[in-house]
Amino acid sequence: MALYHFHVEQIKRSAGQSAIAAAAYRAGENLYSEYYGETNDFTRKGGVLHTEIMLPPNAPAEYSDRQTLWNAVEKVEKNKKAQLAYSFDIALQNELTMEENIALARRFVQEHFVSKGMIADLAVHEPDKENGIPNPHFHVLTTMRPFNPDGSWGNKQRREYALDENGERIRDEKGEYLFNAVHTTDWHEPETLEHWREAWCRMVNAEFERKGLETRIDHRSYEAQGIEQIPTVHEGPLVQKMEKRGIHTQKGDLNRWIKATNRLIASIKKKLKSLVEWIAAVKEELTKAKEPDLADYLIQYHDMRNAGAWSQKAKIGNLKKFVDAFHFLKENQIFTVEELERQTHELSAAVDDLVAQSKSNTARIKQLDNMITFAEHIRHIQPIIDQMNAIHWKGSREKFRAAHQNDIDLYYTSQRILKEKHGVKKIDIPAWKKEQAELRQKEKERAAQYKPLREKLDQMLNVKYCVDQMRKNDRSEPEKRRSKILTH
């Protein structure tokens, strides 16, 4: 089955990340970071099939060496919270050969990254199969700064100064010139990301078409495609490793429930769609003045089935189906096609409401998971912060800070994210975990709420089947009579 996955994020120091470490991991190499003074050895990492550095024309040739390139990136970025690189993670297709996948990845990277002035560090991975399914994909690390014509690093942003009516620069109350920071490229724009996502989709689908394959991928979200899906939660490498070893996790259990529920929703939606389309097609016919109601159709269908039954057992089976269907119509007061249509729309709305509740709960579970992660960073690093605050001599304090810079940066980043993104005023991990467990339990219990809706829908489809059989029989009667006349 064709898979669409296209994820991009930033490698940044404010999150305790290193461009050298990111490149070493993706390429499965041993690279030394001059900025941090440490070695990043990922030579034991398996599943790396292909790596290469792709340079734009005006980039220095020495940047074709991975260690030289990313040390240069680390060196040019002075800020301790600097954004270092874009990181792309893109799924390859099991319907294509690995040679075709690699060629497709290289062409995409060349056309959409390198040709725009980025250096691209490409790595194609084929890790061990997950649940027997291959998971080929490729990573791309790209530079964020453009290159000047002479091959030197350009600026990410430039200043546009505010001017008065005379064209003079305006100062603020502190005497500083007012200006707006303007990006020098459009690589950060949401529209650019959407263009990349769509371009990859078009490129893969064109390859499918070239090979005569009917399968296609779609870059749009489920919501944009009109597909009702509850999004799964991100598991992360540790959870995936545990699940792979047969160790069940909370996230794994939740995702299994979500996937099963999504299959159920898809089945219900498909049946609802067929029923709505059928009602629209036969409504005029079934609402004519002298036409029988739905119960009459059931009675006629039962009589027709019994007339052709060869055994008492078959007649009993026919009677049971008739009784079940007739009781369903009576209990739900469905005697006309208009009432069937109304209740079909009500059932559809009930399903939509359940899906909306699940989406809301799942979004909250994800938020709580994020909050717990950052809160635990703070809890684990707090002793280091306390130790630093207890040092009164400035020199010793700075030396201690330098030795624990990554942890300290992560501590304050976690604090800022909890406050600014999640509005957290007080950390309460036990309460968050309790709420998360309650929400997970609610989602597991919600499956029971789909069951009566599905059973009602199946009964509606049973009525539809009976009516269709009678309509076919009514249309075939004149043909049968004509056939008898001609044979005699």
Higher pLDDT, 299 or 481: 299
d(CA 77, CA 389): 28
Mean pLDDT of 76-85: 88
Q: Concatenated DSSP letters for 125-189?
A: E--PPBTTB---EEEEEEESSPBPTTS-B--SEEEEE-B-TTSPBPB-TTSPBPEEEEESSSTT-
Largest CA distance in the chain: 117
Give the pLDDT confidence of 313-363 residue by residue, as tens digits. Answer: 655 655 566 666 667 777 777 777 778 788 888 888 888 888 888 888 888
> Which of 26-30, 93-97, 140-144 shows the lowest per-residue confidence on average (mean pLDDT)?
93-97
Does pLDDT of 398 surpass 90?
A: no
Higher pLDDT, 393 or 130: 393
d(CA 392, CA 446): 56
- Which numeric CATH code is attached to 6-153+190-219? 3.30.930.30
Most confident of 44-58, 155-169, 279-293: 44-58
d(CA 39, CA 18): 11
Nearest 5°: phi and psi at 31? -125, 140
* Residues linked to residue 41 through DSSP beta bridges, in sequence order: 30
**What pLDDT does residue 483 have?**
45
d(CA 28, CA 10): 20
Does pLDDT of 17 surpass 50?
A: yes
94 residue type, one letter: N
Contact 326, 298 (CB under 8 A): yes
**What pLDDT does residue 463 have?**
74
d(CA 215, CA 337): 38
Percent of the chain with pLDDT over 90: 25
Name the token pair of 454. Answer: 């599905």
Give the closest residue to 272 by CA, choosing from 284, 280, 283.
280
Mean pLDDT of 273-293: 68
| Model pTM above 0.85 | no
pLDDT band for position 485 (cuts 50, 70, 90): very low
Contact 304, 469 (CB under 8 A): yes
Mean pLDDT of 41-70: 92
Mean pLDDT over each residue of the chain, to the nearest integer: 80
Angle at 188 between CA 182 and CA 191, to 5 degrees: 110
Long-range contacts of 322-326 (CB under 8 A, 24+ apart): 322/298, 324/459, 324/462, 325/298, 325/459, 325/462, 325/463, 325/466, 326/295, 326/298, 326/299
311-329 as b/e, with b when 16 or more CB fall inside 10 Å?
eeeeeeebeebbeebbebb
H/E run at residue 266 = helix 250-286
Higher pLDDT, 227 or 245: 245
Give the pLDDT confidence of 117-128 residue by residue, as tens digits. Answer: 999 999 999 876
Q: For the chain, give every residue range classified as CATH 3.30.930.30.
A: 6-153+190-219
Mean pLDDT of 283-290: 60
Strand boundaries in 241-348, DSSP class E? none
Percent of the chain with pLDDT over 70: 79
Name the token pair of 311. Answer: 């055994």
d(CA 218, CA 216): 7
DSSP letter at 9 equals: E
**What pLDDT does residue 276 have?**
78
End-to-end CA distance of the chain: 58
> Which of 46-55, 131-140, 235-244, 296-305 shows the lowest per-residue confidence on average (mean pLDDT)?
296-305
Mean pLDDT of 397-417: 84
Name the token pair of 136. Answer: 């080929």
Contact 93, 101 (CB under 8 A): yes
Q: Angle 429-487/312-331 helices, nearest 10 degrees?
A: 120
Side-chain half-sphere CA neighbours of 364 within 13 A: 17
Contact 427, 378 (CB under 8 A): yes
Mean pLDDT of 96-120: 94
**What pLDDT does residue 297 have?**
63
Mean pLDDT of 151-164: 79
